[in-house]
Structure 1
């Protein structure tokens, strides 16, 4: 969808994974980031990687890299704002941006289509993914027009909670079905937070 930009959020500190770049961790011979790119890139127009530090370490992925536009690691809202401002600067015609984390290797191939459809049908500027009755705030669709409002909320109000900000503007939740990996049913937004999570899924992929 050429009028939808994408941002892969890789600016976190990955403490539970032991630090470093979570997206660089290997899963069955491929990095998590490679798996995410393969799934999200066909669904969007312009795509950017939100990551801090030396951007050259991501050269092999052939994506533009944008560091947080707000310093001191204020959380995922900073990465979302970074993506929104990048999209507005690079592709002024883009109306929407979809965000995905760098540690969810099975995001649905119809993610963007369903989020955009949900937002348009409910006439709201935001949408987020849901599975098992639980929302995934950073797997979402964001109106680029709200970028200035988000910057104000982060900088002036010191807002950090995604749900608190999205609740102001109207958001729809879009439900996604489970997936089957190996012989096990998994949440499509299964995220690898700890080394054990990678070991578990790698075993399933080999079945």
Structure 2
């Protein structure tokens, strides 16, 4: 039987470089940015969760479970991840940011294959050159380790996952898959690219 895989889309940040605009709700070619991410994930996972620390009613319009970080204070992506890990009943949790609208359509399958083949605790995506620390597949039992890391005042995802057995899956065959949007200028560049 195939494992159950849930996904959490991280939309809980402050988006300072976007002028404070909620990145998941920013329009990209006629759709909220998070819609592009949802469209890429909807056929890859069993359930989608959305981590948002503001504008929750707007995120709820897409019909998915929306939750805020259990720890207040905008503690970064790990805070959203640990909250999602504690909520899911799935065998695995896929984590992606809301500002990567060109995610691979085979993201989940390839991360799962890498994790299983290497008997790892988690699998992180790479663009062939750099690891993408907020694009990963992990086992829910890692919630305790992640919570302890946060409780110790740590925030860097890659420091946390180095404590575990990590598989790295290269998506060098899809070089633009992890292009993300942090500024209005990047948004405009990507909008032009998607429209082509």
Please, what TM-score do these two structures have when normalized by structure 1?
A: 0.90
* Residue 101 of structure 2 corresponds to residue 138 of structure 1: no
Please, what TM-score do these two structures have when normalized by structure 2?
A: 0.94
Contact 2:121 2:139 in 1 (8 A): yes
Q: CA deviation at 1:68?
A: 0.3
* Residue 156 of structure 2 corresponds to residue 167 of structure 1: no
The aligned length equals 195
Residues 25 and 178 (structure 1), Cα distance of their counterparts in 2 relative to 1, 3 Å cut: farther
Partners in 2 of 1:122 and 1:178 — Cα distance? Answer: 21
Q: CA deviation at 1:60?
A: 1.9
* Residue 60 of structure 2 corresponds to residue 71 of structure 1: no
**What stretches of structure 1 move > 4 A for 4+ residues in a row?**
none
1:182 corresponds in structure 2 to none
Contact 1:178 1:187 in 2 (8 A): no
Contact 1:55 1:65 in 2 (8 A): yes
2:186 corresponds in structure 1 to 197
Structure 2: state its 5+ residue gaps: none
Q: CA deviation at 1:178?
A: 4.6
Structure 1: state its 5+ residue gaps: 180-185
Q: CA deviation at 1:187?
A: 2.0
Contact 2:123 2:136 in 1 (8 A): yes
Partners in 2 of 1:166 and 1:42 — Cα distance? Answer: 27
For residues 56-79 of structure 1, give each alpha carbon's deviation from its aligned partner in whole angstroms, at most 9, with x where no partner exists. 122321111010012211111111
* Matching of residues 1-207 of structure 1 within 5 Å: 3-87=4-88, 91=89, 94-155=90-151, 157-179=152-174, 186-207=175-196
Give the alignment's Cα RMSD to 1 decimal.
Answer: 1.4
